[in-house]
Amino acid sequence: MKFSLKFNEIYQLLLFAVLIVALNWCFTSTDTNFTPRSIAQNNYPVEEHIVPTTDGYLLSIYRIPAATKANTTPPKKTSEVVLLQHGFTLSSDVWLLRGPKNDLPYLLAEAGYDVWLGNHRGNEYGRKHISLDPKRDRQHFWNFTWHEMGYYDLANTIDYMREATGQKSVHYVGYSQGGLVALVLLTTRPEYAAKFKSMQFTAPTVYMENIKVPLPTAWISGLGNYFSRFLEWWGHSETLQHARWNFHKQMCSVLCDDGAWLRPIYLKIFSMFGGPVDASENYEHILTKMCGNVPVGASSKQVLHYVQQYVTGGFNQFDYGTVDSNIRQYGQPSPPSYNVSSVRNCISLYYSETDYMCAAEDVRRLGRDLQCAELNRMPYTAWNHGDFVWSRYARKALHEPIIARISSWSEAAGDRAEVKN
């Protein structure tokens, strides 16, 4: 199916393209390597591992081996493996902003677990490929959505970890998109169900029908159609990568440092998208890090896939826009749905009534559709999307319950083994 563009539409597209090129030329990128540097600065052992995906991407993931700080004695218990997977436009950095007393990776390491921090293609730790360059070959390199992140990235990461550790299965904690990609994997490659010991999703953005977007659905649909036409003309490319710009980090310092006079304005904007900020929260001492580490890159096709999810209210593979295109891709006129009800794993879901990016109604719907789900509502009147990793109360309200569930699974597995023997 062909379409034609009017002169003014072509003019607008050209202006947009020039703007993108200018921004990428003017703002210097910076590679922070925040994850390994932060872990080392806190005196924990850290390893970098490169995971090659079966479609050619090279992902840097990080490991805190099953030991406490370097100057203390490792725990005696047999080390079980835990993988933490970040959300949309984020990276492994997201887990490490508050420090050892509060961040989930350190708490897991202190509890004796072998902790791995995953990364997906497109962020600052996933910009390498065996043959493609993200700039020179942009239309091919950036031709992915979160479907490929689940089908390839997560699958290959799990297999790499199993080979490296000798463990047959792993514990999994997925934040936001981290829950989404896990369900993509389980619904498209069900043989991976046995490779997870336990699964816990915090604020899983799977169904998105009820998220609070400051625009009418009809407008979002129209913008999605316009964006789809633009991508068909311009091709796939990187977007939402400005946290890697030096200018962005300097701007975050001006806006968000403790005592900055613009800080309340930034918090207000933050709350418009993520949800309300608790009056006692204020993200003291870490707001600049929060701002400076988001966003770190995504594919324009990935963004469009999210728009499609919001407009349709379903959980479907990418819609190529026409019957002919979908038939060529899938052998059917519309994109296939991910059959969530086929997932055999029991999954713990954590959600908030005041999360604008992951509506409580959508999480409860996911809980009904799964064969086995445990719903856990955050007991706060104001708990936004970012609070699942950044809140000063996250250790008591979320991280310790997550560790307790991993531990209880392990103890139950030990009891089952004893009975079997």
35 touches 117 (CB < 8 A): yes
Q: How many CB atoms lie within 10 A of CB 30?
A: 14
What are the residues facing 83 on neighbouring strands? 116, 172
- Tell me the C-alpha distance between 241 and 295, whole Å: 6
Active-site annotation holds for 153: no
φ, ψ (nearest 5 deg) of residue 419: -65, -40
Per-residue buried b or exposed e for 52-73, using 16+ beta carbons within 10 Å of the residue's own CB = ebeeebebbbbbbbbbbeeeee
Active-site annotation holds for 242: no
DSSP string, 157-207: HHHHHHHHH--S-EEEEEETHHHHHHHHHHHH-GGGGGGEEEEEEES--S-
Contacts of 139 (CB under 8 A, 6+ apart): 235, 236, 237
Helices 300-312 & 217-234 angle (0-180, nearest 10) = 150
- Tell me the C-alpha distance between 171 and 81, whole Å: 6
Residue type, 267: L
Which one of the listed residues 60, 91, 169, 176 is annotated catalytic? 176
> 44, 122, 56: which is closest to 89 by C-alpha?
122
Active-site annotation holds for 355: yes
Residue type, 302: Q
First-to-final CA distance of the chain = 63
Rg of the chain over all Cα atoms, to the nearest angstrom: 21
Handedness of CA 31, 36, 38, 41 (dihedral sign): negative
Which one of the listed residues 114, 385, 391, 399 is annotated catalytic? 385
What are the residues facing 175 on neighbouring strands? 202
> 43, 61, 44: which is closest to 52 by C-alpha?
61
385 in helix, strand or coil? coil
Which one of the listed residues 355, 362, 391, 399 is annotated catalytic? 355
| CA distances for 348 relative to 27, 104, 155, 258, 406, angstroms | 41, 16, 20, 36, 11
What is the residue whose two structure tokens read 């979160």? Answer: 146
Q: Catalytic site residues?
A: 176, 355, 385
